A and B are shown apart, each in its own frame.
Chain A
Amino acid sequence: QLNQNIRGVHLFHSIHGVKGSGKTMSLCHAVHYCSKQGWLVLHIPDAHLWVKNCKELLPSSYHASRFDQPIQASNWLRNFRTTNEHFLSKIKLRQRYVWTKRESTEEGRPLGELVDMGVSRVKSSSDVVGAVLKELRLQAGGTEGGFRLAVAVDGVNGLWGRTTLKKEDKSPVAPEELTLVHNLRKMINNDWCGGAVIATLSQTGSLYAPSSAYLPQELLGEEGFDSMDPFIPVPVSLYSEKEFESCYLYYLDRHWLQHPHSQTEEGKKELIFLSNRNPSVLERLCAFL
């Protein structure tokens, strides 16, 4: 599906499926394919980590009502720097950014400098993230030095739910009030072109979602569903016959299935029955067999 030539408006693919059916793995496959083709990959490993368990919440300097998350932002910038090394020197900034009275980044400087600044100055790292995303959005579809941007988000339903974070007066924080989430939502909206957005919906890290929910409507909620319109849902099902065969033969080949009974026909039928062809359950079963 990703072999389509995406010029112009970007496409939004959302991967959904039962727990343990391989959504994150398929996202990783897609990301690898994109990076092999030479795209710039914006990979967020888990959006749920941004809306829960945050130890430091600073009020944002740029916008009065928003909150910053310095640790998560600086971690993400570090990972971004290692994944897209060769793009950092090629992309130049188109706008002047002022951080404090004495620090500012001029126009025409390479993106790498901005990212380094964000990693070293932890306090303004969330604003740096916002600036990076804005720059990439502006320059993605450009004809001169044009690169393709792939935004890969794991657990995108975390951006539209509730958060477990609280302000100092113990009132809950809505996701819009976090700078990281706000900037990420702008990326997912349809205003830029020249790239693709691939997202996974997962129940595993999500907050306030029932464990039996795996369809896009249930996990995203109304708000999320509306803002993601139109999108292409990509269902990930459990292993088919062939896939199970190949997984089983791979385990046999690597000497992972050691129990003598697991290598017989009966043992194989039992594995199919016990795991219901679910990839993660099969992995946990074969771990001790």
Chain B
Amino acid sequence: MAASVTGLLKPWTPRVLLVRWSRYNPYYLEPEPRKEVYHIPETELTPEQKEERELKSVRPIKAATNSVTSSVFNDPVLSKFVNMMMKDGDKIIAKGIITQTLENMKRKQVEKYHKAPEGKKAEIECNPYTIFHHALENCKPVIGLASIQKGGKFYQVPIPLTDNRRRFLAMKWMITECRDNKHRRTLMYEKLSQELLAAFSKEGNVVKRKHELHKMAESNRAYAHYRWW
């Protein structure tokens, strides 16, 4: 459908350009923020890549969002987490909290590393990014529950979850846990770093919540046939 539409559309660029969050004309192409793509010399391009380049030189391209960078330190999972933590569009505060969390985690781990005896040093993980990724992995549920109506009653049926849904659930649980169950005086980044370190070693409230969901799904195994997709 898009192919026929693009045949009819003319490459007219309006005087006032569209902002990112409103609907773009499907004629527009996605931007490419990674630096490596542009460093390949002319000779090493495959025919498809050459075609793509020629197409890009003719067609208009969408504006890149503010969160996309060409820097090597760009992390899409972390950006998603920052967006989920953001309130009222205040990305500066959310990003600040995340950076403080990472620094706090790194500080605690490096202190443990320097105090540990020689044999145990290799086991301690100091990189806050790997800790974050592993902790999120440990919080992702494998199976979820859906409310399905059969014969007038609603049953909690275990269903498989897509990857995006699992990642979303893990992040959501983490953020709600840190917002609700903390002491009035502990700051957000402190609580977040504690939770992430606990999740990394498979302890803590978030992993407990994941296990409870799994148990519920296991106990409702009989209703699995109510799922029709």
Question: B interface, by DSSP: helix, strand, loop or mixed?
Answer: helix
A256 within 8 A of B: yes
The stretch of A50-58, A187-195, A259-267 in contact with B is A259-267
* Partner among B72, B99, B103, B127 whose Cβ is within 8 Å of the Cβ of A267: B72
Known contacts A255-B114, A258-B129; 7 additional CB pairs below 8 A are A256-B110, A258-B127, A261-B72, A264-B72, A267-B72, A287-B99, A288-B103
Contact B73 A289 (CB under 8 A): yes
A106 within 8 A of B: no
A256 contacts which chain B residues (CB < 8 A)? 106, 110
29 example contacts (A-B, Cβ-Cβ < 8 A) are as follows A254-B110, A255-B110, A255-B113, A255-B114, A255-B126, A256-B106, A256-B110, A258-B106, A258-B126, A258-B127, A258-B128, A258-B129, A259-B127, A260-B127, A261-B72, A261-B73, A262-B73, A264-B72, A266-B72, A270-B72, A270-B73, A287-B99, A287-B102, A287-B103, A287-B106, A288-B99, A288-B100, A288-B103, A288-B128
Contact A267 B113 (CB under 8 A): no
Residue positions of B touching A, CB distance < 8 A? 71-73, 98-100, 102-103, 106, 110, 113-114, 126-129
Docked pose: A261 CA to B74 CA in angstroms: 10
Docked pose: A19 CA to B71 CA in angstroms: 26
A261 contacts which chain B residues (CB < 8 A)? 72-73
**Given A267-B72, A270-B71, A288 and B102 touching (CB < 8 A)?**
yes
Least CB distance from A254 to B in Å reads 8
B129 contacts which chain A residues (CB < 8 A)? 258-259
B106 contacts which chain A residues (CB < 8 A)? 256, 258, 287-288
A266 contacts which chain B residues (CB < 8 A)? 72
Least CB distance from A107 to B in Å reads 53
Contact A267 B73 (CB under 8 A): yes
Docked pose: A266 CA to B70 CA in angstroms: 12
A255 contacts which chain B residues (CB < 8 A)? 110, 113-114, 126
Docked pose: A50 CA to B100 CA in angstroms: 31
Interface size class of chain A, counting residues whose CB lies under 8 Å from the partner chain: 10 to 19
A264 contacts which chain B residues (CB < 8 A)? 72
Docked pose: A264 CA to B126 CA in angstroms: 18
Least CB distance from A278 to B in Å reads 17
Docked pose: A110 CA to B98 CA in angstroms: 54
For B72, B113, B129, the residue with the greatest tally of chain A CB atoms inside 10 Å of its CB is: B72
A259 contacts which chain B residues (CB < 8 A)? 73, 127, 129
Chain B proximity mask over A231-245: 1 for CB below 8 Å, otherwise 0: 000000000000000
B72 contacts which chain A residues (CB < 8 A)? 261, 264, 266-267, 270
B99 contacts which chain A residues (CB < 8 A)? 287-288
Least CB distance from A258 to B in Å reads 4
Docked pose: A270 CA to B73 CA in angstroms: 9
Least CB distance from B86 to A in Å reads 17
Least CB distance from B109 to A in Å reads 8
Least CB distance from A268 to B in Å reads 10
For B71, B73, B99, B126, the residue with the greatest tally of chain A CB atoms inside 10 Å of its CB is: B73
Docked pose: A258 CA to B99 CA in angstroms: 14
CB-nearest residue of chain A to B106: A258
A289 contacts which chain B residues (CB < 8 A)? 73
Docked pose: A260 CA to B110 CA in angstroms: 15
Interface residues in A175-233 (C-beta closer than 8 Å to B) = none
Docked pose: A289 CA to B110 CA in angstroms: 13
Docked pose: A261 CA to B71 CA in angstroms: 10
A270 contacts which chain B residues (CB < 8 A)? 71-73
For A256, A259, A261, A288, the residue with the greatest tally of chain B CB atoms inside 10 Å of its CB is: A288
B114 contacts which chain A residues (CB < 8 A)? 255
Least CB distance from B78 to A in Å reads 10
Docked pose: A69 CA to B100 CA in angstroms: 36
CB-nearest residue of chain A to B107: A287
B73 contacts which chain A residues (CB < 8 A)? 259, 261-262, 267, 270, 289
Least CB distance from B9 to A in Å reads 39
Least CB distance from A211 to B in Å reads 18
CB-nearest residue of chain A to B71: A270
Docked pose: A256 CA to B102 CA in angstroms: 12
Docked pose: A287 CA to B128 CA in angstroms: 11
Least CB distance from A19 to B in Å reads 19
CB-nearest residue of chain A to B121: A255
Least CB distance from B116 to A in Å reads 12
CB-nearest residue of chain A to B113: A255
Docked pose: A52 CA to B24 CA in angstroms: 54
Least CB distance from A273 to B in Å reads 9
A254 contacts which chain B residues (CB < 8 A)? 110
Docked pose: A255 CA to B71 CA in angstroms: 22
Docked pose: A7 CA to B126 CA in angstroms: 53
